[in-house]
Amino acid sequence: MGTPTTWQDMTARRLWRHALTSPGASTADVVGAMCGAHAQIMSAAEVSVGLRLADTDRTHVRAALWDTHELVKTFGPRGTVHLLPTRELPLWTAALTAAQRAGNPAPKGALLTPEQTEELVEGAAAVLADAEMTVDELTEALAARVGSWAADPVMDAFQAKWPRWRQATHTLANRGSLCFGPMHGRKVTYTSPHRWLPGFTPADTDQALAHVVTGYLRAYGPATPQHFAQWLSAPRRWASELFASLGELVEPVEVEGHAAYRVAGDTEPAPAPAPDVLLLPYFDAYTVGCHPRDVVFPGPARERALARGQAGNYPVLYLDGLAAGIWHQRRSGRHLDVTVEALVPLSPARREAVAEQADRVGLILQATPRLTFGTVTVGPHA
């Protein structure tokens, strides 16, 4: 087993690898380093990426997504909306397809046969090849191409019935048939990733899985196969077998009595200590991916900053890389009201550092922050 180390060392290194100690070179570099930026809430993704770059606001993130196409918005780990580096899409689609097949490719109450799913994979790729379509437009186009069954309103969702094809949305993304296009007003659109990456085809599965595991361990390691399985939303047994199959690419290490894995030979220390203060938004990659939870969320932070054990539902105040409170933002015109609830006493210097972080969040979101220290009264994911 590798040389023992400490969680303090590992925390500093994780933050450095996440470009939270010193800024990264480009949007694609920082999003790749954290293995994707959660983008279910787009403003939170803009803050996540912006905090990892120098002198950046949300317009830079949007330009990387919709103008230069350095980033692609699609379904990533855990089947949730993510920003991924476009150049890595062949690797991610292959790895996510493998993870989906290892889990439950036919969900409970499946509304599609395997043959229908394949028809949708081909059909979506064809109709989106040169187009951006809303859900309604894509439903109509798929029904015309593969049959009216694709549009049958049979999928239960939010007190409504969605068309049958939408049960395969994650599969279509994982197979490279669709990704998100720019919003049309308030309506989501889908398009083909081939428009952003001509000639795109999914990579070799073994190569793709090795890329995702080693990327995860560089960003979040040391970690166990079970941590990886939780992060990716994949079966634990499959993850254990995957780690074992990687042979000399990964190696065991012990951290304060915890047995885990790291990329083989990855012993480079962080060049600087963990940042004194950080305000990370909803579902920031560092918050969601780091384990063990009792280390990252010590003491009262475990109860206050996690929602039934799940990380990411609250924006988190970090002190020296460990959760020490939560915060909330509310926009009002050009102002951004930021409330920070610290779970430990803050020195004047740390209060000033919190104010600097709030200023930076305001800069990224192009708003003027108004900071208050007090109790956050809203619930998770509010």
* Separation of alpha carbons 197 and 191, rounded Å: 12
Residue 144 covered by a domain: yes
Q: Pick the closest to residue 130 from 68, 181, 66 (CA basis).
A: 181
Q: Which of 178, 195, 212 is the last residue of a domain?
A: 195
Q: Which of 175, 195, 215 is the last residue of a domain?
A: 195
- Bigger pLDDT: 8 vs 5: 8
Residue 291 covered by a domain: yes
* Whether the Cβ atoms of residue 173 and residue 116 lie closer than 8 Å to each other: no
Note the pLDDT of residue 382. Answer: 65
pLDDT tens figures, 47-97: 999 999 999 999 999 999 999 999 999 999 999 999 999 999 999 999 999
Residue 2 scores a pLDDT above 60? no
* Whether the Cβ atoms of residue 76 and residue 96 lie closer than 8 Å to each other: yes
List Cα–Cα distances, 215 to 14, 65, 158, 180, 319, in angstroms.
12, 21, 35, 24, 25
Class of residue 201 by CB neighbours under 10 A (exposed 0-12, middle 13-18, buried 19+): exposed
Residue 41 covered by a domain: no
Residue 368 scores a pLDDT above 60? yes
What is the average per-residue pLDDT within 229-237?
97
Q: Examine the domain organization and report whether 92 and 186 are in the same domain.
A: yes
Residue 254 covered by a domain: no
What is the average per-residue pLDDT within 210-228?
98
Residue for token pair 């962080």: 270
| % pLDDT > 70, the chain | 97
Spatial neighbors of 271 by CB under 8 A, at least 6 apart, are 16, 21, 22
Residue 151 covered by a domain: yes
292 phi and psi angles, rounded to 5 deg: -70, 150
Q: Which residue(s) pair with 143 in the sheet?
A: none
| pTM assigned to the model | 0.95
CA 215 to mean position of chain CA atoms? 13
Q: Which of 144, 176, 195 is the last residue of a domain?
A: 195
* pLDDT mean across residues, the chain: 95
Q: Which long-range contacts (CB under 8 A, 24 or more apart) does 139-145 make?
A: 139/163, 139/165
Residue 255 scores a pLDDT above 90? yes
DSSP-derived pairing of the beta strands 250-255 and 2-5: parallel
Note the pLDDT of residue 160. Answer: 84
Residue 210 covered by a domain: no
Residue 261 covered by a domain: no
Q: Examine the domain organization and report whether 185 and 301 are in the same domain.
A: no
- Number of compact structural domains in the chain: 2
Domain that holds residue 160: 69-195
Residue 7 covered by a domain: no
> Binning pLDDT at 50, 70 and 90, where does residue 99 land?
very high
